[in-house]
Amino acid sequence: MKRDGAAPRRDGAGAPRHEGGYQGRDSAPRRDDRSSGGRGFPQRAGTGRDRPDRQNDDRPRHDDPAIPEDITPADLHSSARNELKTLSKENADEVARHLAMAAKLIDEDPALAHQHALAASRRAGRIAIVRESLGITAYATGDFALALRELRTYRRISGKDDQIALMVDSERGIGRPDRALETGRAADRSKLATPVRVALAIAMSGARLDLGDTELALGELQIPELDPDRAFEWSPALFAAHAAVLEDLGRDDEAAFWAERADVAADALGMGGDDEDEIFVEDGLIEDEES
């Protein structure tokens, strides 16, 4: 999704305390890399690509939300549309339009985004990107049990762990921090894209906080990407989470330092540079690596 697709902070009972910093691929609702690591949808292997999903084509559409006429299949990223090739053209086009609407609405109207993801699922339930989108929109609406179920299905179909942080946060959201930690530990972090790995560290830290293990929560965040002098797309969320845990520990001066770094990094990254640019942060001044 877009750079601003960070997971919503959930402050209610049993909900994740710290946002997971989620992002995603272009033009699909994504709560995990301020994109999930990738810049487009990778080709996916699995049952969703092995057989047509035509048995879903004739299901009633009376619950489908309306799609503005100016939304076309081309509004969904081409690599995402590639995942829909097992469908009939008419069905693939409608699924693509619903997914494009889900991506467009995920931040401003998560409930309506979820309705579009549900409509896509009724038409193409075996496609990885559809199940992923349904899981992400469920998470955004606070339905953590559904989010977990759908993201597990997405992982089974796609063979990918790029939504592992959302799965961890969903376990937290249904009140199972121990299971959240188990889920996170099962992932091979060396194989995760950096934004996904950072998001996972934030989610794991939140699970430690749920259990009252504040020192361990701090340790989860002390990863190589926690560098106050450099800012990447994932840095503001990481710095802010680190500041929050330090504050919980009563280390107020350090917490203030990292909170300020989070603000500086966020401001720097909002200056219109490419998401992958590295930015140096020093004494409140921002310098592009190439300047």
Give residue-wise pLDDT tens across range 33-59.
Answer: 433 333 222 222 232 333 334 344 445
Q: Does residue 152 carry a pLDDT above 90? A: yes
Measured distance CA(162)–CA(38) in Å, rounded: 9
User: Distances in Å between the alpha carbon of 71 and those of 29, 65, 80, 259, 263?
Assistant: 16, 13, 16, 40, 35
- Evaluate if pTM is beyond 0.85: no
Burial of 100 (0-12, 13-18, 19+ CB in 10 A): buried
Phi, psi of 201 (to 5 degrees): -60, -40
237's CB contacts (< 8 A; 6+ apart) are: 6, 19, 21, 198, 199, 202, 262
What's the average model confidence in pLDDT over 78-106?
Answer: 96
Higher pLDDT among residues 270 and 213, named by residue: 213
Higher pLDDT among residues 159 and 10, named by residue: 159
Token pair for 267? 């401001």
